[in-house]
Amino acid sequence: MLATLVTAVTNGLRGEIVRVEIDVAPGLPICHIVGLPDAALSEARERVRGAIRNSGFQYPLSRITVNLAPADRRKRGSAYDLAIAVGILVASGQIRRGSGSWALLGELSLSGTVEPVAGVLPMVATLQRQGYRRVIVPDANVHEARLVTGVEVVGVVGLDDAARLVAGPRGRTAERATRRPAVELSGPRPAERGPVPRRTTPLAAEMEPVDLVDIRGQGHARWALEVALAGGHNILLIGPPGAGKTLLARSIPGLQPPLDDDEALEVTVIESIAGLLADGSLRRQRPFRAPHHTSSYAALVGGGPALLPGEVTLAHLGVLFLDELAEFDRPALDALRQPLEEGVVAIARATGHVRYPARFQLVAAMNPCRCGHYNDAQKKCRCRPGEPERYVRRVSGPLLDRIDIQVEMARVPTAQLLRGAKPESSTTVRERIAAARVTALARNGGRANAHLPATAIVEACRLEKAADNVLVELGAIHHLSARQTHRLMRVARSIADLRDHVDVSADDVLAAVQLRDQGTIFDQRAAA
């Protein structure tokens, strides 16, 4: 007897429909899975057999052939288990399909429980678009699946539940169709455990958010960060150890406006695919990812055999914070150039190729040299002559070119730490940032100032007469290239937005100049 069911897989951020055909025919008892399965999928037959037997059904002693169509596409993962098991039960006549059709997603354990899988959200969304109206998903994934409207989502705990649903109220189910409880030797039963994320969030989770009110001094750097967040500009903080670079970066999550509905869905889909969606709720908070500088190339840009998204994609619509920028591998850093420019990252590997969105804001921090005390009058730089120059040269020019704002920070004197005036709180600053962002997005047609294309800059960054004069004069003094001029105008635009200026004033342009390295770190050293 032949049974056909529908399930889905993810490819990049999109889901794809996969048809599962199961034929149970007389012959020697054997199970074949065809349609280019990978190792995890080939092992499905063992999980399926265990799950069927332990759910009160009989594993048919016949020749079973499972075909996954389209047959020319590589299949990987364990989300097919449930569809295969239910298909075998239907094909062997143990349940009869009732009214309506179900798409099924889920991994099986030997005991017959249905385990959560990654990427349920985009898979359900695809099923909905393709016209499927009823989906069975693992109980742990039911929240994220319900983010998709227009489709009936039912969560199941075990294979027996799924079998009953497929059979329907009038369908025939085997009498003894109940799961046998497994003998639990290690702790509470799965149902009593909370949901467990499959991949823990690195660093970002451990980095406690900081309120700006607790950061003394660094007035200039605080303001630079405010401008960066208002305009979506990439920012580089340079300073000796202990200047407060990391502390300042940790205040970012508290300064960002929440995601809007479309953005939230996009971010949630990415987390779903990466298996990071523990509670299945819609993500409203902008991502803040802080990979360690020893992270591999694949961890940063994505890849691996499963072509999983990397940190650049997980930071999509949020912030990618790279602490100790100069300590990252050169190839990994240079791989950031494409996503910084285009907002997407293309990953091509032997197992296939995908494109993931990666429109993140880069926040980076680094020491001015290996020992950290270059240009420091109080502490002697322990680097040998020539070493500081080589250190900064690890960050390539093209990457620096894409970082609009670069600020140098010095250590805050102790007296100021203890007696300084109480600074603004994150709430005050967040409101200013949010207002400036709204202004900018409305004017630029939904684009942040940092993403203004060269053609739109003149229109978006209208200059007052005096500002125009200042810019011309600056160009003459510093021999600004077109790219540098545009960068200056974008930053000045963000400053103007924060100050509620309709047109960019001369003051805004003058202030923008101070948000670029004055040449002491990257240029002057080359001449020395």
Neighbour tally for 190: CB within 10 Å:
16
**Cis amide prior to 70 (ω within 30 degrees):** yes
Distance, in Å, from the CA atom of 62 to the CA atom of 27, rounded to the nearest integer, reads 5
Binding mask 303-342 for other proteins (x = CB under 8 A): ----------------------------------------
Site for other proteins in 370-409 (CB under 8 A): 375, 377-381, 385-386, 408-409
Q: Which stretch binds other proteins (CB under 8 A): 29-37, 186-194, 329-337, 467-475?
A: 467-475
Whether residue 272 contacts residue 144, with contact meaning beta carbons closer than 8 Å, is answered with yes
- Does residue number 215 form part of the binding site for other proteins (CB under 8 A)? no
Residue of the chain from 31, 320, 495, 504 that contacts other proteins (CB under 8 A) = 495
According to the 3-state scheme, what is the secondary structure of 440-477?
HHHHCCCCCHHHCCHHHHHHHCCECHHHHHHHHHHHHH
Whether residue 485 contacts residue 458, with contact meaning beta carbons closer than 8 Å, is answered with no
Q: Considering the complex, state which of residue 431 and residue 473 has its C-beta at the smaller distance from other proteins.
A: 473
Residue of the chain from 56, 87, 217, 372 that contacts other proteins (CB under 8 A) = 217
Which residues contact residue 390 at a Cβ distance below 8 angstroms, ignoring those fewer than 6 apart?
none
Residue of the chain from 40, 223, 351, 400 that contacts other proteins (CB under 8 A) = 223
Dihedral angle sign, alpha carbons of residues 453, 403, 426, 311: positive
Q: Which stretch binds other proteins (CB under 8 A): 305-313, 338-346, 455-463, 513-521?
A: 513-521
Distance, in Å, from the CA atom of 91 to the CA atom of 38, rounded to the nearest integer, reads 24
Whether residue 318 contacts residue 290, with contact meaning beta carbons closer than 8 Å, is answered with no
Strand partners, 463: 504
Under rule CB under 8 A, how many of the chain's residues touch other proteins? 44
Is 328 in a helix, a strand, or coil?
coil
- Does residue number 480 form part of the binding site for other proteins (CB under 8 A)? no
Whether residue 361 contacts residue 232, with contact meaning beta carbons closer than 8 Å, is answered with yes
Least Å from the CB of residue 518 to other proteins? 4
Residue of the chain from 141, 218, 313, 406 that contacts other proteins (CB under 8 A) = 218
Least Å from the CB of residue 479 to other proteins? 14
Site for other proteins in 32-91 (CB under 8 A): none
> For residue 226, what are its two tokens?
């405010």
Least Å from the CB of residue 376 to other proteins? 8
Least Å from the CB of residue 231 to other proteins? 13
CA distances from 192 to 106, 187, 188, 195, 375 (A): 19, 10, 6, 9, 58
Q: Which stretch binds other proteins (CB under 8 A): 58-66, 176-184, 444-452, 495-503?
A: 495-503
Residue of the chain from 46, 260, 341, 473 that contacts other proteins (CB under 8 A) = 473
Residue of the chain from 96, 220, 355, 402 that contacts other proteins (CB under 8 A) = 220
Say which DSSP state 37 is in: B
Least Å from the CB of residue 478 to other proteins? 9
Neighbour tally for 226: CB within 10 Å:
21
Q: Which residues of 99-113 are buried (b: 16+ CB within 10 A; e: fewer)?
A: eeebbbbbbbbebbb
- Does residue number 524 form part of the binding site for other proteins (CB under 8 A)? yes
Binding mask 406-445 for other proteins (x = CB under 8 A): --xxx-x---x---x-------------------------
Q: What is the largest CA-CA distance in the chain?
A: 89
Distance, in Å, from the CA atom of 409 to the CA atom of 498, rounded to the nearest integer, reads 22
Least Å from the CB of residue 378 to other proteins? 7
> For residue 497, what are its two tokens?
């937005």
CA dihedral 147, 151, 156, 160 (to 10 degrees): -170
Q: Considering the complex, state which of residue 124 and residue 221 has its C-beta at the smaller distance from other proteins.
A: 221
Site for other proteins in 95-154 (CB under 8 A): none
Q: Considering the complex, state which of residue 272 and residue 505 has its C-beta at the smaller distance from other proteins.
A: 505
What type of residue is 369?
C
- Does residue number 219 form part of the binding site for other proteins (CB under 8 A)? yes
Residue matched to tokens 């039912």: 154
- Does residue number 355 form part of the binding site for other proteins (CB under 8 A)? no
457: Cα within 13 Å, side-chain hemisphere: 19
- In degrees, rounded to 5, the angle at the alpha carbon of residue 497 between the alpha carbons of residues 492 and 502 is 95
CA dihedral 308, 269, 364, 504 (to 10 degrees): 140
Least Å from the CB of residue 342 to other proteins? 31
Residue of the chain from 58, 425, 469, 518 that contacts other proteins (CB under 8 A) = 518
Least Å from the CB of residue 433 to other proteins? 14
Q: Considering the complex, state which of residue 137 and residue 221 has its C-beta at the smaller distance from other proteins.
A: 221
Q: Which stretch binds other proteins (CB under 8 A): 14-22, 145-153, 284-292, 520-528?
A: 520-528
Residues that bind other proteins (CB under 8 A): 217-224, 375, 377-381, 385-386, 408-410, 412, 416, 420, 470, 473-474, 477, 495, 498-499, 506-515, 518-520, 524, 528
